[in-house]
Amino acid sequence: MKIKRNGWIIETKSLFQVKWNKYYPVFIIHEKYQKKIKWILRILTFIGITTSIITMPWYLGLSVSIVLILLELLLEKVIFLYTTIVVQNFPKGFKIEGEKWLTNGFAIPRNKEPDLLPFIGPAFDSKEYAEKFFKYICSWNNVDKIDTENKIVLSFVIEPNNTYTTFIYANPQRKNLEEIFENEKEKMKYEKYGKQPQQLFMQVFLAQNFAYGPEYQIAKFLETYSTNDHYFLCPFILHQDESTEFLSDLRILKFSYKIKNREELIKTDVEYDIK
């Protein structure tokens, strides 16, 4: 379940979860509630002492005591979470403007041959903006010309209204991000001893929606090249006469892309909540 707080959409499981450990539940709660939990335990202890003094039928007193003991035992087994947030670098020297991403450009060889790879990428009306935009994307791959670990994800979602949405984002599963989280965990192992890390990552997701159909180049690309075929990702320039030019000097060799229909997406897909 998701809640909205201070303009942010938050998964409730990032604050509170219940997991079963064989015969009893274990509460997993964010450390921001640790003091409140301690006070609840103290209040329960006080209530337990008070009820033992108050005169009541023995069976009621016994029932109340058992319930309080069980609640205290459960709360004593609470696992507290602490949050580590890694923020991806944001654009420097320019502002991302979605309206400048006019369409996608394609340069597809007539025949699918190993030594002739297709070029694909976002098309803009300004060379200056295209270069800044793409250099920012390249920074996710440490400016390398070959993306062997799929650090930059190119994704297509076929929508039900004869359109498709293109996504470009830094892979949340990339190796260097895992290394950053492990380093942070090591730094906090004494300060946060006994607590579990909750790892959050903030980044830019680039998405744009375009028309889709058999007459468009995107359909030809998807029909000709499988998700594991090699291709070059690079920016294109869309000229006023509607001709396109690709900036091959900025190309990145890619080894995969992602394609799904909208109804095939599941909650773990990055594209699921972005429409």
| Domains in the chain, number | 2
Q: How far apart are the first and last CA of the chain?
A: 19
Same domain, 23 and 71: yes
Structural domain contains residue 66: yes
Residue 207: HSE in the Cβ half-sphere, 13 Å Cα cutoff: 18
Structural domain contains residue 217: yes
Same domain, 56 and 103: no
Separation in Å, CA 138 to CA 58, 107, 169, 252, 269: 73, 20, 11, 8, 23
| pTM tops 0.75, yes or no | no
Structural domain contains residue 185: no
d(CA 247, CA 160): 32
Task: For residue 53, give the 3-state DSSP assignment.
Answer: helix
Same domain, 149 and 220: yes
Same domain, 73 and 119: no
d(CA 195, CA 267): 27
Question: Residues for the chain: how many in total?
Answer: 275
Q: Work out the pLDDT band at 4, boundaries 50, 70, 90.
A: very low
Structural domain contains residue 86: no
d(CA 43, CA 245): 71
Q: Work out the pLDDT band at 110, boundaries 50, 70, 90.
A: confident
> Would you say residue 258 has pLDDT above 90?
yes
Structural domain contains residue 160: yes
> Would you say residue 202 has pLDDT above 80?
no
pLDDT digits (tens, 9 = 90+) for 125-150: 999 999 999 999 998 988 899 999 99
d(CA 119, CA 236): 9
What pLDDT does residue 167 have? 97
Structural domain containing residue 12: 2-77
Structural domain contains residue 195: no
Buried b (16+ CB within 10 A) or exposed e, 232-260: bbbbbbbeeeeebebbeebbbebeebeee
> In 10 A of CB 13, how many CB atoms?
12
Domain termination residue (choose one: 51, 77, 103)? 77
What pLDDT does residue 111 have? 78
